[in-house]
Chain A
Amino acid sequence: MATPTMDKLAALEADNGSHLITVTFRIRRFNPEISEEATWEDFQLEIDPKERVLDGLHKIKWEMDGSLTFRRSCAHGICGSDAMRINGKNRLACKTLIKDINPSKPITIEAIKGLTVQKDLVVDMEPFFQAYRDVMPFLITKGNEPTRERLQSPEDRERFDDTTKCILCAACTSSCPVFWNDGQYFGPAAIVNAHRFIFDSRDEAGEQRLEILNDKDGVWRCRTTFNCTDACPRGIEVTKAIQEVKRALITRRF
């Protein structure tokens, strides 16, 4: 059954007698019912390095400390619930393998930044969704509804394909230094979702959305630090999308 790599791994396991390794999870805990201070807490666990950070968190919650609080739904990188700051980088806990993040050192896990921490790794996502709603992320058309579906050529679909992949996990927005400082900035996620409709040939409210993003807290606040592109677990070219919106605004004016 096995590939050479797997044979090697199997041999290694036979040597050690076990494939488990000991990992330290250093988690930033906050519980407003106990203290106003957030503190780091270490957990040591035996885990298969091919497992994910989320599996480690489950192990802690189910077997060691049930008070550990975090969000997750699908656990397979689709729902976008478990974005967190792992070793200082925003990632999805369910898409990060232990072996990929240097398990010989303690793995630090914090809540994403720039949003109110409610408990442990759970933040208030409302400001994030507020910005998302502000860009009107739904199809807007004029005139009568057609009797058939709205047709679109593959090229027209390709134009905004990248930005349809967003799962609203907030990894990009909460990695943006401008969002940390000036919370009125729409943030990369909202702009990505505006981009998805601005460049959709079937949509007719692109002008309105551009007008919203032309505001002083819109796309012009972007400093192109590329934190968002690095953070996106779906590999969306976020900064490129923001720049495309800027270009659309400029070419519209001149």
Chain B
Amino acid sequence: MLAAVLSALTVVLSFLEGLLPPLPIPGAKLGLANVTVMYALCGISLPCAAGVTVVKAAFALFRGPIACLMSTVGSLLSLIVMALTHRFLGDKLSFVGLGVVGAVAHNMGQWMVSYVLLGSAMTYYAPLLLLLAIPAGAVTGLVLNVVYPYLQHNSLFRKG
């Protein structure tokens, strides 16, 4: 039930983000939908976060098969890295640190797909993606830092 609500929220966030004016850098996105993935991971459970991630990736199909593939690989890599970080370093980080780790992993996953598809020309995008991941991850993390306590107070979003 909760996973379904969070999945719906993820899709809505992705859509709303698409309404924002596009960033001046080709291919760059804020990644607001990662807020719900991080909430599912830290507030509920890894399977819940995995479910949300799969729904998010499936909805990327609307942006075309390549976008879906890049989203899937990026999101899954991001989830794996965030889950490991949360498991082993969870008490040392807030969502800002976790968000940056996740955003870097996500962008590197996307970059790997584009590298496989396009070859070494993509090397030149890697620094840009890495740089952009830092503010993007920090902003999504800050959002969750603010929102998390309120979500935990709401019985709909609490675990169990």
A, B: real partners: no
Chain B positions within 8 Å of A, measured between CB atoms, are: none
